[in-house]
Structure 1
Amino acid sequence: MTDTHAPTRSEAEVLHTNRRFYEALWSDARLIAPERFNTWPLFGALARDAQRRLEVAPGLRPRLPLTDTCFVDMSHAALRGLRRQGARTTHAMIGALPFPDARFDLVCALDILEHVVDDLGALAELARVATADATLLLSVPLDPAAWTAFDDFVGHYRRYEPAQIAAMLAAYGWRIERSAVYGMKPESSRLLDLGQWFLTHQRERAMWWYNRVFMPLGLRFQKPLAWRDGLGDTAGVDELLLVCRRGPAPPSP
């Protein structure tokens, strides 16, 4: 597929950026329980109905229950933190999941697809390990025109047009059942620039402030997710959380 946000980086460069950023982030972070996020009312209910669950690249911010969920991440620091809480973990990446076909009833991959050079291969892997009636939970940033230096810094490779991500999902048998505006990105560009400066020049200090101050504040001021059918109105939306199902849409009543 074609990416228009910036000069193309190699897969090795993108992987290096992601490894460096997230290994440092999770090395000084504490695990936050999934019940503390605004995704929990829906995700917890879906998890209760799914015996076989997979979450890809949760870091130390898992959204599915720690018990009886398989967690996959490339960060050793994140995996250590998850294991300390009794979670089942595997060191792997989204493009090569070490599981048999049709293994999981519920698959969760938040804030990951935009980091992967071969996003079609990643979607193919998610589809491969999902059962015929599985649910997929996915989040992606929108609007290539909204690209900033911060996207480069945190290891993003792309942003998506809404119709583009819908078509990609459909190609692998997924339909978007509902969606919600998502993410904790500050609206102030000056705040983002300041955060990026500290992450570049005073990384340890910046990570401490993020993990100990800004993340707890973000959790405290979360708003309940407002779900709508399908993609909904995406004008001005920075990031979208999608609930996807396998197969055709049910007939109208």
Structure 2
Amino acid sequence: MAASSPVRSDAELLRVNRGFYEALWAQARLIDPDRFNTWPLLRELAAAAPRRLEVAPGLRPRLPLEDTCFVDLSHAALRQLHARGASAMHGMIGALPCADARFDLVCAFDILEHVADDEGALRELARVAAPGATLLLSVPLHADAWTAFDEFVGHCRRYEPEAIKAKLAAHGFALEGSAIYGMQPKSSRLLDLGQWFLTHRRERAMWWYNHVFMPLGLRFQKPLQWRDGLPEVDGVDEVLLVCRRLGG
């Protein structure tokens, strides 16, 4: 039986996420956006949206480095983004250092599940998105799929499909399309093994992740298959959602 997601405070989540991702990015290199299967869509969207924001990219940005504003909590990630000439600011999704209605394209991959106040995070995304802006958001699905690995990497929750659709609508976002997303292995034994090494042999595990498993994941990732709305997702671990900011 799957474990349920724990109730975790903002302070605890911040500590876990800083501890895990600062160590991860300190030993990693920035991967160019065109290496990911999100690139065909984002290249097209970015060409039509000169005002764009990506929240918490770490060293895996999906939007073009040039002319995109990046906001991240990790100083290790910010240093490498700056070194590549990107415009990057220190900040968190719950208090974005950006003006209202500033962006026509906003991306937040693998972040909403990490914050205790996801309503506040969505309010911030809605605040900085101009009317008609596109939002790309990825989230893990199904509370009954929760594992100890979710907790280990700083997740606060998984989302039921109807619940995330309702949350987006409540903050002025209309869901337009979706695709199955993510690189997490399906084998629970692999996840358990990875968690053990990250707990007891962290430096070595980070090296293997950055130098072996991430390159393999990039090589074997499949093209995204886009669908209207959010159709049947039983057994799907994570989805990428394309939304439109209403208003204007």
How does the TM-score come out when normalised to structure 1? 0.95
Distance in 2, Cα, partners of 1:212 & 1:7: 32
Match of 2:84 in 1: 85
Match of 2:64 in 1: 65
Match of 1:108 in 2: 107
Aligned with 2:30: secondary structure?
coil
Distance in 2, Cα, partners of 1:158 & 1:6: 6
Deviation at 1:11, TM superposition (A): 1.4
Deviation at 1:100, TM superposition (A): 1.0
Range with bigger deviation, 104-113 or 5-14: 5-14
- Structure 1 segment 1-253 matched on structure 2, within 5 A: 5-247=4-246
User: In the TM superposition, what whole-angstrom CA distance separates every residue of 1:44-86 from its partner, at most 9, and x where no partner exists?
Assistant: 1000000100000000000000000000000000001111111
Distance in 1, Cα, partners of 2:225 & 2:166: 23
Aligned with 1:99: secondary structure?
coil
Unaligned runs of 5+ in 2: none
Unaligned runs of 5+ in 1: 249-253
Q: How many residues align?
A: 245
User: In the TM superposition, what whole-angstrom CA distance separates every residue of 1:152-172 from its partner, at most 9, and x where no partner exists?
Assistant: 000000000000000000011
Segments of 4+ moved more than 2 angstroms: 4-7
Q: Is the 8 A contact 2:54 2:69 kept in 1?
A: yes
Q: Is the 8 A contact 2:135 2:243 kept in 1?
A: yes
Q: Is the 8 A contact 2:25 2:77 kept in 1?
A: yes
Distance in 2, Cα, partners of 1:7 & 1:241: 24
Distance in 2, Cα, partners of 1:24 & 1:84: 19
Distance in 1, Cα, partners of 2:236 & 2:34: 25
Deviation at 1:246, TM superposition (A): 2.1
Deviation at 1:232, TM superposition (A): 1.5
Q: Is the 8 A contact 2:149 2:191 kept in 1?
A: yes
Distance in 2, Cα, partners of 1:121 & 1:180: 25
Q: Is the 8 A contact 2:175 2:242 kept in 1?
A: yes
Distance in 1, Cα, partners of 2:6 & 2:177: 33
Deviation at 1:5, TM superposition (A): 2.5
| Matched AA of 2:232 | D
User: In the TM superposition, what whole-angstrom CA distance separates every residue of 1:138-181 from its partner, at most 9, and x where no partner exists?
Assistant: 00000000000000000000000000000000011111110000
Aligned with 1:32: secondary structure?
coil
RMSD: 1.0
